[in-house]
Structures are given as C-alpha cells and as structure tokens.
C-alpha cells in the first residue's frame, strides 16, 4: 500500500492504492482546507508534491483551471482532491491566509 508523508506535519499514513490525498488527510486528522468538499470546484486543497510527482495520475482540465487561482503555484502543485495515491509520495500543505477550522 502507498505511503503519503504530509509536511509540515511530518505525519506518514498508509492508504489503499487510488485513495485521494484529501481523503487520506481528513481520515487521519490532518488539517487541509477543502471548501468545495473535494469536488474540484475550488483551489483551497492546493498541495505541493515534493516527491513522487511523476507517478501521479494525469491532471484533468478542471484541475488545471482551478490551479490558475492558486497563490504560490509551483511546478508540482496539485489539488489534494484530485491526486490519487498510486505509490509513495511526499506532499507539502502550504500555509494559507484562511486557516482551516474544525466544525465544533
């Protein structure tokens, strides 16, 4: 099973192959913004893939369009709701202006 290392938290989780990174984060209490609920309708779940980018699923046109809205875009930027873990990857959750808040 693939492993995902989330930075800056330095939390590593093992997930079934094909699991979206957003689901892996939320299932393991890793805070990541996701205003649209993982429907590729916003860019709040922006991540930067530090390792394993070449093994990721291809980017859709919708994801490409949403990434145009991202601040601090990098060559390995992706949306966590669209990236599916196929092999081990290291991702960085960038700091955002609007911090994630738990619904308590």
Q: Where are the beta strands (DSSP E) in the chain?
A: 3-7, 11-14, 46-51, 77-79, 89-92
Domains and CATH numbers, the chain: 3-91 (3.10.20.30)
Question: What H or E segment, with its residue span, contains residue 23?
Answer: helix 21-27
Going by C-beta distance under 8 Å and a sequence separation of 6 or more, which residues neighbour residue 58? Answer: none
**Separation of alpha carbons 40 and 11, rounded Å:** 24
Q: What pLDDT, in 10s, does the model give residues 65-89?
A: 999 989 889 999 999 999 999 999 9
The pTM assigned to this predicted structure is 0.88
What is the reported pLDDT for 71?
86
With b meaning 16 or more CB within 10 Å and e meaning fewer, what string describes 29-48?
Answer: ebebbbeeebeeebbbbbbb
**Separation of alpha carbons 89 and 64, rounded Å:** 20
């Amino acid at each position: 099973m693939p492993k995902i290392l989330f930075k800056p938290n330095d939390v590593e989780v093992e997930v079934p192959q094909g699991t979206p990174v957003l689901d892996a984060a939320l299932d393991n209490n890793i805070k990541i913004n996701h205003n649209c609920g993982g429907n590729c309708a916003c860019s709040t779940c922006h991540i930067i893939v530090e390792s394993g980018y070449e093994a990721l699923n291809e980017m859709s046109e919708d994801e490409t369009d949403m990434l145009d809205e991202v601040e601090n875009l990098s060559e390995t930027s992706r949306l966590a709701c669209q990236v599916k873990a196929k092999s081990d990857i290291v991702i960085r959750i960038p700091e955002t202006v609007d911090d994630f808040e738990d619904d308590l």
